[in-house]
A and B are shown apart, each in its own frame.
Chain A
Amino acid sequence: MRRGASSFNIISVVLGLAFLYLPITILVIYSFNASRLVTIWGGWSLAWYRELLHDDAVLQAAWISLRVAVLSASAATILGTFAAVALTRMGRFRGRLLFSGMVYAPLVIPEVITGLSLLLLFVALNMDRGFWTIVIAHTTLTMCFVAVIVQSRLISFDRSLEEAAMDLGCPPVKTFLTITLRLIAPAIAAGWMLAFSLSLDDLVIASFTTGPGATTLPIRIYSEVRMGVKPEINAVCTVMIAIVAVGTVAASLIAKSGTTKREHAALGAQV
């Protein structure tokens, strides 16, 4: 691509970024508004955050969401990494086409379908719905995202290191553990982060697969939002944005050494 951006190029990028960031910025600013009304600025205040600290329902929902996200992201990272290794390092095995189909399909299939089908499975299996069914549902969805990220890393790095180790008599399993795993570690970390934030974010699939006593934060926020805008919700959202922002910056600093541009694109294209 020829370098040198025209003014049209600059304007479209600036406007695009403004469009992406303006609504979130407004939301954050208004979480500090002393007035209850959106149009009236009543001065800076932490009132809504104080109220939040006493809102047991929201705090409990946040705690459930956090536990679901950690558990499902960890399981999804293991399963997704295995799936990526299977797709890139195992050559042709029986049922490979079906396997790759099952890995890529959940990335685009509408959430209402995934949610409904998982719920019907849990009903058919007579499982008590609640915390664990959400964990299983989120693991199933997010392992596919992890698989794609790890797969793009496995494909892009130099295989000569692996081959050299094996030529020198290193057994394949040891080669994988000492060399391959270390090289794909940044992608695995990025996959875990993505799985974690997808789980924390999910409303539709959690609504289908939840049961009594397992209200996640998005389910809670959704039921409040349907009643209209409330400053407390602005405060909850700002806290979540802050956590995500800190997490993303930290993760990108960690992963800076190892990520490739292709991974960025793959990661971005899949979110």
Chain B
Amino acid sequence: MSTQANRRNWGARLVVLLPYLWLVIFFLVPFVIVLKISLSQTALALPPYVPVFDLAAGWAGLMEFTTQLSVDSFRLLSSDAIYLFSYFKSLQIAAISTILLLAIGYPIAYGMARAPRAWQPLLVMAVVLPFWTSFLIRIYAWINILQRDGLLNDVLMRLHVIDTPAAWLSSDTAIYIGVVYSYLPFMVLPLYAALERMDESLLEAAADLGCPRWKTFWLVTLPLSLPGVAAGALLCFIPIVGEFVIPDLLGGSETMMIGQTLWTEFFSNRDWPVASAIAVSLLVLLLLPILFYERFQQRALEGGQ
């Protein structure tokens, strides 16, 4: 019996330890490294920053290492208008997109929740299916439509809405279209999940008592769906702030979102400390929403036992 218990113990430990260690090594430690490099300075070396932490130098080495750390990268971020503008732009696009997604996603989720029950799994499937196809492909599909000699201009000109081709691509409008298109399922599914499990009798009671439909919606349906609204909004807002592919392919070159700025600093300017400092400040910016999201996730998965 005791060997069995031992074996179980050993197996249980392995089940916890293996993913735990993996995440510590490949998720947690990398963040510590990013933090460290964000406090380093650019250098023409390999790797392109100083100081390089050397374990072999021991305690003295560690002391010397700490004295060489600097906040120059962060000072640059907070003083240069390019970076501040880039942060502002990202927050603006994420906020407006989230509102647009709510406005477009809510009626869709509501309609799905009111569809005949037999249809509902099929509708969920239909909403999920497009994002099993590549993200890149879905953005690329919009280039086909939005480019100067693309389909949208073609259709609009044939309908005589416009006379000369309009520049849809390389604009904020294109970014909003791309973001709403890519993130719509993220918004619809949590909303649908919240609306679908709503108690029917509440609505019937409101109707029996003579409450008009719009008022029932405002007083009953909407408040009860707020957890879904919050989950969907967080699930969209957080990744959109750091979005790279959509603004890079659809947006203009004059304004950059923070994800693009990080990319450029890293790949074009080879300024690793500044790229790391952008990553750290972006994470700090998103920390609160991420913590909120984690609590939702935990409650959704562990609370509903």
Q: Which residues of A contact B (CB under 8 A)?
A: 1-6, 8-13, 15-17, 19-21, 23-24, 26-27, 30, 37-39, 79-80, 82-83, 85-88, 90, 93, 95, 99-113, 116-118, 120-121, 123-124, 136-137, 139-140, 143, 147-148, 151-152, 155, 171-173, 197, 200-201, 203-204, 207-208, 218, 221-222, 225-226, 228-229, 233-234, 237, 240-241, 244-245, 247-248, 252, 261-262, 264-269, 271
Q: Which residue of A lies closest to B16 (CB)?
A: A86
B21's nearest neighbour on chain A, judged by CB, is A79
Count of A-B residue pairs with CB < 8 Å: 307
Q: Is the CB of A13 within 8 A of B15?
A: no
Contact A116 B266 (CB under 8 A): yes
How far apart are the CA atoms of A86 and B293 in the complex, in Å?
21
Chain A residues closer than 8 Å to B279, beta-carbon distance: 112-113, 116-117
In the bound complex, how far is the Cα of B138 from the Cα of A39, in angstroms? 19
**Chain B contacts for A151, CB-based, 8 A:** 301
Q: Who on chain B is nearest to A12 by CB? A: B107
Name the residue of chain A whose CB is nearest to the CB of B178: A23
Cβ of B23 and Cβ of A103 under 8 Å apart?
Answer: yes
Q: In the bound complex, what is the Cα–Cα distance between A105 and B23 (angstroms)?
A: 11
Question: Interface segment, B63-71, B75-83, B111-119?
Answer: B111-119
In the bound complex, residues from chain A placing their C-beta under 8 Å from that of B150 are 38-39
Residues of B close to A244: CB separation below 8 A: 132-134
CA distance A204 to B262 in the complex (A): 12
Q: Does A39 contact B149, Cβ atoms closer than 8 Å?
A: yes
Most buried by B among A39, A90, A268: A268
Asked whether, in the complex, the Cβ of B127 is within 8 Å of the Cβ of A112, the reply is no
**Contact B15–A8 (Cβ < 8 Å):** no
A1-B195, A237-B137 known; A136 vs B26 contact (CB < 8 Å): yes
User: Taking the nearest CB of chain B, how far is it from the CB of A124, in angstroms?
Assistant: 6
Report Cα–Cα, A199/B156, bound state, in Å: 38
Q: Do A241 and B137 form a contact, CB below 8 Å, given A155-B302, A171-B4?
A: yes
Our pick among B8, B114, B259 for the contact of A4 (Cβ within 8 Å) is B114
Can you spell out 16 A-B residue pairs with CB atoms less than 8 angstroms apart? Answer: A23-B145, A24-B133, A24-B141, A26-B151, A39-B150, A79-B18, A99-B19, A102-B24, A103-B19, A116-B34, A120-B272, A121-B33, A140-B23, A173-B8, A225-B136, A228-B143
Whether B51 sits at the interface, judged by CB under 8 Å, is no
A19 and B185 CA atoms in complex are apart in Å by 11
Whether the pair A120, B37 counts as a contact (CB closer than 8 A) is yes
Return chain A residues, CB-CB under 8 Å to B104.
16, 19
Q: Which residues on B are within 8 Å of A, measured CB to CB?
A: 4, 7-8, 11-12, 14-16, 18-20, 22-24, 26-31, 33-34, 37, 47, 104-105, 107-108, 110-117, 121, 123-138, 140-145, 147, 149-151, 154, 181, 184-186, 188-190, 192-193, 195-196, 198, 200, 203-204, 231, 234-235, 238-239, 241-245, 249, 259, 262-263, 266-267, 272, 275-276, 279, 282-283, 286, 290, 293-294, 297-298, 300-302, 304-305
